[in-house]
Amino acid sequence: MKSVKVIKVGGKVIGDDQKLDRFLKSFAAIKEPKVLIHGGGSIASDIGKRLDIKPQMIDGRRVTDAETLEVITMVYGGLVSKSIVAKLQALGVNAAGLSGADLNIIPAKKRDPEPVDFGWVGDVEDVNTNWLTQFLNADVTPVLAPLTHDGAGNMLNTNADTIASSVASALSDDFDTELMFCFEQPGVMNDKKLITEMNLLLYRHLRDSGIVTDGMIPKLDLGFEALKNGAKVSIRSFKDVAEPESGTTLVSN
């Protein structure tokens, strides 16, 4: 079975030119077919502030009202996406910047306003892999912005980790798929020590003990979901994206 790598890189790397350049050089060195999913929340917040649109957050999650939706659509689907594509072209990677609305790749449903109304936020309903597969077979690298659509003409802000997990799960039906979550840390840490391998029982223990907290919890939840659906999964530093064994590898119990 043909292999494919689905790689998500966090917004803090995207917002730092030096880190982004280092990541993209390593990403370009990967010979296998690959998909890149990017964040960009910090850039969207900065652009919004310039437009006098202040970010609204609830429990660390962005509230996407109509004005904010315009900002993130411009930033994620335009500025960030096309800047990454241009840099990849310079590195010899033939890339295409896409949102979930393009080619109906990721239809989603607007999140229920109860108990918390996050506005124009979407939960993934499906991933249509036909076009992604055609791109990959044509040696084109899809670059997916964290945007989906509701089928009724509306864009939706959707968590990039969720998109990465959903895409990896869907592609696992036809490819030997590896999902990598790349950010600033070496992987999942226990104090200052890297956890090189984690199963679901260890994860639950570390979560319940308060060792694994905050944004790492949804990342691991989504990682184990993709693992269950047939993908290989690791959480690693953006510096080590091209390394065969790096970071924290998720394994079955």
**Over the stretch 77-121, which tens digit does the pLDDT of each residue have?**
999 999 999 999 999 999 999 999 999 999 999 999 989 899 999
- Tell me whether residue 213 is in a domain: no
pTM for this prediction = 0.95
Q: Is pLDDT at 55 greater than 90 in this prediction?
A: no
Please name the helix (run of DSSP H) or strand (run of DSSP E) that holds residue 249, with its range, or none.
Answer: strand 248-250
Query: Is the sign of the CA dihedral 18, 22, 25, 28 positive or negative?
Result: negative
At 87 the pLDDT is 98
- Tell me whether residue 253 is in a domain: no
Q: Nearest CA to 34 among 80, 84, 71, 70? A: 84
In this prediction, residue 1 has a pLDDT band, given cuts at 50, 70 and 90, of confident
Peptide bond into 115 cis (omega under 30): yes
Spatial separation of the C-alpha atoms in residues 40 and 72, rounded to whole Å: 9
- Tell me whether residue 219 is in a domain: no
- Tell me whether residue 224 is in a domain: no
Could you please report the per-residue DSSP string of 74-103? HIIIIIIHHHHHHHHHHTT--EEEE-SSGG
- Number of separate domains in the chain: 1
Contact between residue 184 and residue 58 where contact means Cβ atoms under 8 Å apart: no
- Domain of 80 in residue numbering reads as 3-186+233-241
> Virtual CA dihedral for 83, 85, 91, 95, nearest 10 degrees?
180
pLDDT in tens, 131-153: 999 999 999 999 999 999 999 99
Question: What is the token pair recorded at 63?
Answer: 């509230």
- Tell me whether residue 16 is in a domain: yes
Spatial separation of the C-alpha atoms in residues 39 and 158, rounded to whole Å: 10
CATH code assigned at 121 = 3.40.1160.10
- Tell me whether residue 248 is in a domain: no
pLDDT in tens, 184-238: 999 999 988 999 999 999 999 999 999 998 889 999 999 999 999 999 999 999 9
Compute CA distances 48 → 19, 20, 54, 70, 100, whole Å: 23, 21, 6, 10, 22
- Tell me whether residue 79 is in a domain: yes
- Tell me whether residue 246 is in a domain: no
**Sequence-ordered list of residues with C-beta below 8 angstroms from that of 13, at least 6 positions apart, any chain:** 19, 20, 23, 182, 183, 184, 238
